[in-house]
Amino acid sequence: MEKQEIVQKICALYKSYGIKSITMDDVARHLGISKKTLYQYFADKTELVQEAVSSEILNKQKNFAPLSNNHVNALEELLAYYKVQIKMIFDYKPNFIYDLKKYYPEIYNKYVFIKREKIIDSVKQNLLKGIKEGYFRADLDADIISRITLMRIEGMIHSGMFTIDEMMSPKVFSEIFNYHVYGIVTDKGRAYFEKHKQELTIQ
């Protein structure tokens, strides 16, 4: 079994059951390897957690990778970005995050910093692209709106105002998407959006 495969399986284990309750013995048993073999890959649990979080960060970055696409316009790109947001909400595991924050604060802070920076940068680049194309208003402050977008994502996850099922529903998705789009489009952007509205929906 390759190290990367081991790390991915451990990450999935932590996300399912939390970090604190999973011992090195549990990990070895789950992977079907000896504890001695496990320690050949990782010096201790802290290193194992670090590797698991690094794997999680890499997976999130891969989710954002296809969003910057020169073959689609900013509105189409924005839809793809919103779908990634929904996936992020669906994949959110409170036990994993709670344990990471409480028992491995340095790793948690790095994880949050990288995740936030990636979200903010992706939103900002999309806004700038839309402004250049004439679909988004030229007077937008891309920096402020990108941070507001991040705040909205984190608010939906932590506020308890919506259940996971509600957040995943096409109705809620549509309202959030429309709310954002109509706040940033020009007349040209609105005309395009209205014409292609049926296509720009979550599948």
Taken in order 72, 73, 74, 78, the sign of the CA dihedral is negative
User: What is the predicted pLDDT for the residue at 69?
Assistant: 61
- The phi and psi torsions of 73 (rounded to 5 degrees) equal -85, 175
Q: What is the pLDDT of residues 124-155, one digit of tens each?
A: 999 999 999 999 999 999 999 999 999 988 88
Could you tell me the pLDDT band of residue 64, with boundaries at 50, 70 and 90?
Answer: low
- Integer-rounded Cα Rg, in Å, for the chain is 20
User: Under CATH, to which class is 3-195 assigned?
Assistant: mainly alpha
The answer, yes or no, to whether residue 36 has pLDDT greater than 80, is yes
The answer, yes or no, to whether residue 60 has pLDDT greater than 80, is no
| CB-CB neighbours of 130 under 10 Å | 25
The answer, yes or no, to whether residue 86 has pLDDT greater than 80, is no
Which long-range CB contacts under 8 A does 54-61 form with residues at least 24 apart?
Answer: 54/7, 55/4, 55/7, 55/8, 55/11, 56/11, 56/15, 56/111, 57/111, 57/114, 57/115, 60/88, 60/115, 60/118, 61/118
User: What is the predicted pLDDT for the residue at 70?
Assistant: 67
Which residue has better confidence, 88 or 39? Answer: 39
Mean pLDDT within 77-100: 83
Mean pLDDT within 51-64: 84
The mean pLDDT of the chain is 89
- Global pTM reads 0.82
Calculate the alpha carbon distances from 127 to 24, 131, 189, 193 in Å.
Answer: 45, 6, 12, 15
User: What is the predicted pLDDT for the residue at 65?
Assistant: 63
Packing angle, helices 187-195 and 74-91, rounded to 10: 70
User: What is the predicted pLDDT for the residue at 171?
Assistant: 85
Dihedral-angle region of residue 80 (phi above 0 means left; psi in -120 to 50 means alpha; beta otherwise): alpha
Mean pLDDT within 166-192: 90
Could you tell me the pLDDT band of residue 95, with boundaries at 50, 70 and 90?
Answer: very high
Burial of 48 (0-12, 13-18, 19+ CB in 10 A): buried
Q: What is the pLDDT of residues 151-160, one digit of tens each?
A: 988 888 888 8
The answer, yes or no, to whether residue 66 has pLDDT greater than 60, is no
Residue spans of the domains in the chain: they are: 3-195
